[in-house]
Amino acid sequence: MAVLVTGGAGYIGSHTALALCDRGEKVVVLDDLSSGFDWAVPPAAELVVGDVSDQALVSQLIVEHGITEIVHFAARILVQESVGDPLRYYLGNTVKTRALLETALAHGVTRLIFSSTAAVYGEAQVEIIPEDQPTAPINPYGRSKLMSEWMLADVARAHGLAYVVLRYFNVAGADPAGRAGETRRVATHLVKVASEAASGVRPGVEIFGTDYPTRDGSCIRDYVHVSDLASAHVAALDHLRAGGANLTLNCGYGRGFSVKEVVDVVKRVSGVDFPVKLSGRRAGDPACLVGAADRIRTELGWTPQLDDLETIVRHALGWEERLASRNARVK
């Protein structure tokens, strides 16, 4: 028996694979390495390079490894890119998820955890967003994920699929022990970008939008530590194995920080006063995304251990130091 982790060579996927391996699970990672890295996969997991929509390959993995559950991360995640190239996102996030579901059901795999996003809410009209808030995504990324959520619900009614959807807010930080972290060819997440600026990897940080209806004019987001998010996936897996009901849950801490506040924390923790450029708004960015966090704690018994912005930033900065050291050795 094994767990298939799609996109397990990426940021959140590799941390979740690590959490599963830490407790002795047999983990198979399927990743096309278009944005992930083979060295990010935990040594205890088996990496297979391939596409989640390759039904012959997924069938082979399910049979050979005795796959009983799937944790599905593989996706495209850049909001601005989705606005410019929507068909790429509907293919990568919706069409390929449909193919994965069809293959899983054909082989009797009926437990799945799905990586979704707070982008499904769009411009919410409440300060703290509950799961029953109407979904109204304002970009193709959010719509492509919401369509996959609809598919899961329909398949569950028709075929008995058991699932947990986790709607992430802003994920940041790195494994406290330094075994994993955020590595991207082009960084877009704020804590990562600011940590790179503090580490000298980039010349500074650009803040997009200073005229939002927020306390300081910049966007507000709910920042969740990636290791806490990984533990939520483990809790979701246990929930499904115990016969728990299908769930759609926010994954956040229930409070938000503005872009300017995050930049200030990175400067303070790092001790580096890097340049900051103020620019206009980007297409597809809502002013505020903060998720109600009560339901996930109640339903999954999830207890975050790293709910602190300075801790998140310290771990992100520590990962940048490890990346610099690794890159120096590779050279």
Q: Tell me whether residue 45 is in a domain.
A: yes
Q: Tell me whether residue 185 is in a domain.
A: no
pLDDT single digits (tens) 244-258? 999 999 999 999 999
Q: What pLDDT, on the 0 to 100 scale, is given for residue 188?
A: 84
Residues 6+ apart with CB under 8 A from 147: 90, 93, 94
pLDDT at 126 over 90: no
> Is 231 in the same domain as 212?
no
Q: Over range 292-296, report the average pLDDT.
A: 96
Q: Tell me whether residue 184 is in a domain.
A: no
CATH number at residue 318: 3.90.25.10
Q: Tell me whether residue 305 is in a domain.
A: yes
Confidence of residue 328 (pLDDT cuts 50, 70, 90): low
> Is 77 in the same domain as 42?
yes
Confidence of residue 331 (pLDDT cuts 50, 70, 90): low
> Is 149 in the same domain as 43?
yes
> Is 7 in the same domain as 156?
yes
Three-state secondary structure of the chain: CEEEEECCCCHHHHHHHHHHHHCCCCEEEEECCCCCCHHHCCCCCEEEECCCCCHHHHHHHHHHHCEEEEEECCCCCCHHHHHHCHHHHHHHHHHHHHHHHHHHHHCCCCEEEEEEEHHHHCCCCCCCECCCCCCCCCCHHHHHHHHHHHHHHHHHHHHCCEEEEEEECEEECCCCCCCCCCCCCCCCCHHHHHHHHHCCCCCCEEEECCCCCCCCCCCEECEEEHHHHHHHHHHHHHHHHCCCCCEEEEECCCCCEEHHHHHHHHHHHHCCCCCEEEECCCCCCCCEECECCHHHHHHHCCCCCCCCHHHHHHHHHHHHHHHHHHHHHHC
Round to whole Å and give the CA distance between 224 and 168: 8
Q: What pLDDT, on the 0 to 100 scale, is given for residue 124?
A: 84
CATH number at residue 234: 3.40.50.720
> Is 235 in the same domain as 209?
no
From 121, 141, 212, 253, active-site residue: 141
Q: What pLDDT, on the 0 to 100 scale, is given for residue 187?
A: 82
> Is 78 in the same domain as 98?
yes
Q: Tell me whether residue 269 is in a domain.
A: yes
Q: What pLDDT, on the 0 to 100 scale, is given for residue 259?
A: 97
> Is 77 in the same domain as 168?
yes
CA distances to 10, 128, 164, 217 from 281, in Å: 28, 22, 33, 11
> Is 111 in the same domain as 143?
yes
pLDDT at 149 over 80: yes
> Is 204 in the same domain as 126?
no
Q: Which residues of 124-152 are buried (b: 16+ CB within 10 A; e: fewer)?
A: beeebbebebebebbbbbbbbbbbbbebb
Q: What pLDDT, on the 0 to 100 scale, is given for residue 39?
A: 95
Q: Tell me whether residue 132 is in a domain.
A: yes
pLDDT single digits (tens) 236-292? 999 999 999 999 999 999 999 999 999 999 999 999 999 999 999 988 788 998 999
Q: What pLDDT, on the 0 to 100 scale, is given for residue 127?
A: 84
> Is 239 in the same domain as 326?
no
The sign of the torsion formed by the CA atoms of 236, 94, 225, 120 equals negative
Confirm if 13 and 47 have CB atoms less than 8 A apart: no
Q: At what angle do helices 190-198 and 309-330 cross, to 10 degrees?
A: 60
> Is 75 in the same domain as 167?
yes
Residue in this structure with the two tokens 């300060």, named with its chain if needed? 127
Q: Tell me whether residue 182 is in a domain.
A: no
> Is 111 in the same domain as 230?
yes
Confidence of residue 313 (pLDDT cuts 50, 70, 90): very high
What is the pLDDT of the chain when averaged over all its residues?
Answer: 95
Nearest to 58 by CA among 90, 94, 92, 105: 105
Q: Tell me whether residue 242 is in a domain.
A: yes
Task: Say what percent of the chain tops pLDDT 90.
Answer: 89
Q: What pLDDT, on the 0 to 100 scale, is given for residue 141?
A: 96
Split into its structural domains, the chain has a count of: 2
Confidence of residue 329 (pLDDT cuts 50, 70, 90): low
CA distances to 226, 324, 325 from 330, in Å: 26, 10, 9
Annotated active-site residue 141? The verdict is: yes
pLDDT single digits (tens) 12-28? 999 999 999 999 999 99
pLDDT at 330 over 70: no
Structural domain ending residue among the three candidates 235, 251, 267: 251
Owning domain of residue 266: 190-221+254-330
Q: What pLDDT, on the 0 to 100 scale, is given for residue 80?
A: 87
Single pTM value for the model? 0.94
